[in-house]
Amino acid sequence: MARGQNLTGLAPRKAALGLLTGVLSEARLLPELIGDGAVAHLPPEDRARAQRLALETLRHLDRADRLLKPHLQKNPPLAVRNALRLGTVELCQGAAAHGVVNAMVDLVASGKRTRNYKGLVNAVLRKVADGGPESWAASSVSKMPNWLRQPMVAAWSRKTVEEIEAVHAASVPLDLTAKGDPEALAERVGGTLLPTGSVRLAHVPQVSALPGYEAGEWWVQDAAASLPVRLLGDVTGKRAIDLCAAPGGKTMQLAAAGAQVTAIDDNAARMARVTENLARTGLAAETVVSDAFDVNGHYDIVLLDAPCSATGTIRRHPDLPYAKDGSDFGALMEQQTQMIDHALGLLAPGGRLMFCTCSLLPDEGEVQIEEALARHKGLKVAPVNAPGIEDAWRTEEGGVRLRPDIWAARGGVDGFYMACLVKA
């Protein structure tokens, strides 16, 4: 069986179908499934392929469903539908028809509850192989599920949401933050230096094989996520606390910029990653496993990358709209409000609170700051500046808003909101 699986790619495809089932049937996120060992049995190459197949299928799920619809009189069971979706995406992205069709038929035939659908899968995927790639090229990109798309349209307009969806459908570049000179790093790894200081690689390689990885010269961090620390300006010698630190990108930025950093996270496993990243980069920070609300003291810099819907990260995490339904967003927003109030209490005289979320929902960004200004007398949004910040990104209340459609020609960025607060 191992030989057959290697020849036809059954092993990674079977694992990819398992990942799709976990997201679409069990409402679990891919990192959770992978962390629980969903692909641990595979060799590294097959593991990477399984994850890529699952990600690409989720990225193009709506598009695949539209292409399949004319060939299905009624919806088959989810396991069969996922095999058809996976096969359709592979076929329309140029995979060899013979291998894809045979693999999907074999996988469906191997299941007790799905074996009766092997004829359907064979017939439908052969039709897709015949005309699918041309239909795919002419079809529009996948739309977000309605539960998320509707509030997004209300916030940003239908045209903007369509532009965001186009970025979601494209390949995602890799952004690096340099510990030292970003221009030198860009030259060394063959990347492009973005106006905001991040180094971007158009094609994602094996990260650990890139020059400077072992030496800790850089870390992976989306260009948008690197901006909050950049907006703080000179932090040399400042006492700084990163309240939701994992996986540690902003902690490392603060430490590299000369701040005395305390990193807080309530998840021991995630904090272990922060410690590992600090060790690799040779940067120093105190790491503490704790609930942010249990933290006391006074700091010159408080960085609060608050728990949020993460809707700004869909270009990199296409599983999110299918594993979530928005039912927990209200609780997250209430938690953000409480965390802002607590974080303000940690500020030393003259200190600055950088609040940020990787969300595209104004209720988790602009509205949070507007309400905080109304709750706290003397609270102000401090003017911020950094290389590459465009005037169009600035918001009425004084924050900075990024969306995936910004820099679309460059590969986009994560959706992010940030604002720097000071107390009179």
Nearest to 319 by CA among 41, 37, 34: 34
The values of phi and psi at residue 13, to 5°, are -70, -40
Q: Which residues pair with 192 in a beta bridge?
A: 200
CB–CB of 416/225 below 8 Å? yes
Q: At a CB cut-off of 8 Å and minimum separation 6, what does 237 contact? A: 258, 259, 260
What is d(CA 321, CA 58) in angstroms, rounded to the nearest whole number? 9
Q: How many CB atoms lie within 10 A of CB 367?
A: 16
CB–CB of 388/197 below 8 Å? yes
Q: At a CB cut-off of 8 Å and minimum separation 6, what does 347 contact? A: 298, 299, 302, 353, 423
299-305 and 239-242 as β-strands: parallel, antiparallel, unpaired? Answer: parallel
3-state DSSP call for residue 376? coil
The continuous run of DSSP H or E covering 401 comes out as strand 400-402
The continuous run of DSSP H or E covering 305 comes out as strand 299-305
The continuous run of DSSP H or E covering 219 comes out as strand 218-220
Determine the straight-line distance between the first and last CA of the chain, rounded to whole angstroms.
70
What is d(CA 232, CA 230) in angstroms, rounded to the nearest whole number? 5
358 assigned to active site: yes
CB–CB of 407/401 below 8 Å? no
What is d(CA 245, CA 270) in angstroms, rounded to the nearest whole number? 9
Out of 92, 244, 308, 358, which one is annotated catalytic?
A: 358
Which residue blocks in 243-344 are alpha helix, DSSP H? 249-256, 268-281, 320-323, 329-344
Written as one string, the DSSP assignment of 73-124 is SSPPPHHHHHHHHHHHHHHHTT--HHHHHHHHHHHHHTSTTTGGGHHHHHHH
For the annotated catalytic residues, the residue numbers are 358
